[in-house]
Amino acid sequence: MRYAAGLGVFALCVSRLCVSQEAGAPAAASAVHVFVVRAGTLIDGRSDRPQQNQDILIRGERIVAVYPAGTRPLPAGTELLDLGAATVLPGLIDCHTHIFLQGEVPAAGGYDVQLLKYPLSYRTARAVVAARRALEQGFTTIRDVETEGAGYGDVGIKQAINEGYIPGPRMFVATRAISTTGGYNLEGYAPEIVVPKGAQLIDGPVEARKAAREQLEHGADWIKVYMTHRSWVDEKGELVSQPTLTVEELRAIVDETHGWHRKVACHAYNGPGLQRALDGGCDSIEHGLELTDAQIQQMVRQGTWYVPTLSVYYYDHDPPDTPSGKRDRKRVALHGVSFGKALRAGVRIAFGTDVGGFVWSDPIAQEFARMVEFGMTPMQAIQAATSRAAELLGASGDLGVVAPGAHADLIAVSGKPLDDVKALESVAFVMKGGSVFRSTPVAATR
């Protein structure tokens, strides 16, 4: 069964996925598969140091033991997957994706064309491909933070993945997202024309709570809120962003969502909108381009997560002498500085990219190099995309770690990511829940 034709990749899918494809419907799991993945180097997602020559014993979908290679007899019938030339890591987690967005390339019509001219069936078909792209690149879990006008499409994609109809990562979905009137695209059309919006727009705490209830009822694992919208550079050369929801509106959403034991992710660039996000009790600040020292301290105090998205702001800059071109450059200039300050202050940071804002054919893992550029060690960046991200998702011990009891989500690279984190842009082996999705020959580099 091949899912990755055209990329020079062969997808070796074993167990459940293949069975379900052949039968046309998910089949019950057959006899529990027991096997050992032998890691030349193991970065387990939690420890600060890698370990050499480790065996990872997997039963079905879970890891049952990790121990020095060859120190225990293999149980009868155990299959050995020898990745002795490779570095093995937990499956990666991207906490900020948009599978229903296909880049915002101006020449291809940017954002608007996707809502105005693409049939929903076409958007869904491409979302299926995007989900597969995430998995191919070693991202076995994503938090997909809204569908940009494609309604509850993410809920269906997640279901199809979980039931084995299509390949893709584990998904935490946010469905429609919430902003205010004047607080989200599409805009700039004649007021007489009703255009679709990329988020559910509310005004007032009552509507805010109702929108959260609707989204939670229909399957949102997270609620995504836009706390800032337009941004520009003012006469003093400062980045300004327009705040959207009031603290009261956000509090209604947070209160409702926490009642469901779910969390709220807030898009916020800087300024009053970001402050309202913190005062309103947001669980994660998305982007956070410009954080003041006081805001950083508030994040530490409240335990607020920071999901920076450094790479995406390097794309598609307008000419430098235009207002939008100045804004594009200012965003880049501020973001790395805020990241470094937050890191040094001990803010909890999880890996996010905003992929979908850039095309899915580009490496999602390019973000690692940016995180290192702005102050993280490669190990810190890896942990941000594994055990730390799992903590944000409320899945510690289940995801983002190679340890007994965790899902058997593993990747392998032939390079040495602790020497050059760009090695993570070339993932050679991907396993999700004990099923090998991708396996390309791993060159010996040791």
Chain positions contacting Zn ion, by CB under 5 A: 354
Our CB check for Zn ion shows the closer of 354 and 409 to be 354
Shortest Å, Cβ 154 to Zn ion = 13
Shortest Å, Cβ 287 to Zn ion = 8
Longest dimension (CA), the chain: 74
Our CB check for Zn ion shows the closer of 111 and 118 to be 111
Q: Where are the alpha helices (DSSP H) in 376-445?
A: 378-384, 387-392
Strand pairing category for 170-173 and 200-202 = unpaired
Amino acid at 173: V
Our CB check for Zn ion shows the closer of 83 and 389 to be 389
Q: Strands, DSSP E only, in 320-416?
A: 348-349, 410-413
Q: What are residue 127's phi and psi, to 5 degrees? A: -65, -35
Amino acid at 146: E
Our CB check for Zn ion shows the closer of 15 and 97 to be 97
Our CB check for Zn ion shows the closer of 57 and 371 to be 371
Our CB check for Zn ion shows the closer of 328 and 354 to be 354
Our CB check for Zn ion shows the closer of 366 and 439 to be 366
Residues in a beta bridge with 263: 222
Our CB check for Zn ion shows the closer of 94 and 354 to be 354
The helix/strand/coil state of 336 is: helix
Tell me which long-range contacts 194-202 makes (C-beta under 8 A, separation of at least 24).
195/115, 195/116, 196/115, 196/116, 196/149, 197/149, 198/111, 198/115, 198/146, 198/148, 198/149, 199/146, 199/148, 199/149, 199/226, 200/176, 202/178, 202/245, 202/249
In whole angstroms, what is the distance from residue 310 CA to residue 289 CA?
9
Shortest Å, Cβ 354 to Zn ion = 4
Our CB check for Zn ion shows the closer of 17 and 223 to be 223
Q: Cβ contacts of residue 86 below 8 Å, gap of 6+? A: 39, 40, 41, 412, 413, 414, 428, 429, 442
Shortest Å, Cβ 268 to Zn ion = 12
Shortest Å, Cβ 101 to Zn ion = 8
**What is the DSSP secondary structure assignment for residue 110, as one 8-state letter?**
T
Our CB check for Zn ion shows the closer of 96 and 170 to be 96
Shortest Å, Cβ 353 to Zn ion = 9
Tell me which long-range contacts 56-61 makes (C-beta under 8 A, separation of at least 24).
56/88, 56/402, 56/408, 56/410, 58/33, 58/34, 58/408, 58/434, 59/32, 59/33, 59/34, 59/434, 60/29, 60/32, 60/33, 60/34, 60/408, 60/434, 61/407, 61/408, 61/433, 61/434
Shortest Å, Cβ 402 to Zn ion = 29
Inter-CA distances, 98 with 21, 311, 359, Å: 26, 15, 10
By beta carbon distance, the residue nearest Zn ion is 354
